[in-house]
Copies of this chain bind each other. A is one copy, B any other.
């Protein structure tokens, strides 16, 4: 809708990958380098971009500033933090907190595992709904109609041999997740990693976010992973309590 803004935002993406020369950036978004220069200058004024020596651009501090300011506004993040940090410290596994946004999952917090084999993720990263444990938890928490609507609308790209590939299979899986109260990603997203996830609830029992543990398969087999479920649920329960949830707030 707004051309120059559109170009500038695309530019930010290119810069984030790694810092480049002016013409490279120009080629990448298909405009003249002088145009890029002017956009960069504006971005620089606002501290969205910073120049590092010659021919080197990086994202600037305004980026971090705004982002973390916004992250703070996710109240779940604050209230869940202690419980998740403790879970991470106790087990040594990677812990994620994720939220539903617009047909995808967004990681809003992360606690890095202690093992050398690590999952590649990042706060702010987006992931698919159909092949992540957090995705399943978040969608399973929605009313049946909305579940169906989402299941029909999303794509089912195959990531591993275990990936769910049809709306029907996904809906069945969601039903199971809703029953059990937790979800599993049995190497459906990445070949060498499996995860478990459980919901974090708020005052009215509504699901605010999903917390997960990701464990490399070489470290723990499937049964070993499932054995961690009680520990995960204890943590999400604690996080829920800190988020205003009360045991008797829900009926079924």
Please encode chain A, from 133 to 173, with 1 for each CB lying within 8 Å of some chain B CB and 0 for all others: 00000000000000000000000000000000000000000
Determine if A124 and B61 form an interchain contact, defined as CB atoms under 8 angstroms apart.
Answer: yes
A21 at the interface (CB under 8 A from B): no
A114 to chain B, nearest CB (A): 10
Determine if B13 and A124 form an interchain contact, defined as CB atoms under 8 angstroms apart.
Answer: no
For residue A65, which residue of chain B has the nearest CB? B124
Contact for A16 among B9, B16, B39, B70, CB less than 8 A: B70
Q: Roughly how many angstroms separate A226 CA and B237 CA in the complex, as a whole number?
A: 41
B-facing residues in A1-27 (Cβ within 8 Å): 1-2, 4-6, 8-10, 12-13, 16, 18
Please encode chain A, from 90 to 108, with 1 for each CB lying within 8 Å of some chain B CB and 0 for all others: 0000000000011000101
Q: Roughly how many angstroms separate A35 CA and B124 CA in the complex, as a whole number?
A: 28
Q: Roughly how many angstroms separate A8 CA and B43 CA in the complex, as a whole number?
A: 10
A60 at the interface (CB under 8 A from B): yes
Chain A binding surface SS class = helix
B-facing residues in A181-199 (Cβ within 8 Å): none
> In the assembled complex, which residues on chain B have CB atoms less than 8 Å from the CB atom of A126?
47, 61, 65
For residue A101, which residue of chain B has the nearest CB? B61
Q: Roughly how many angstroms separate A38 CA and B101 CA in the complex, as a whole number?
A: 21
Q: Roughly how many angstroms separate A13 CA and B47 CA in the complex, as a whole number?
A: 11
Determine if B70 and A101 form an interchain contact, defined as CB atoms under 8 angstroms apart.
Answer: no
> Given that A1-B41, A70-B16 are contacting pairs, would A64 and B102 also be in contact in the complex, using a CB cutoff of 8 Å?
no
Other contacts beyond A2-B38, A2-B42, A65-B126: 17, CB < 8 A: A2-B41, A4-B4, A6-B45, A9-B46, A13-B46, A47-B102, A50-B101, A50-B102, A59-B66, A62-B124, A63-B66, A64-B70, A64-B123, A65-B122, A68-B122, A69-B124, A72-B122
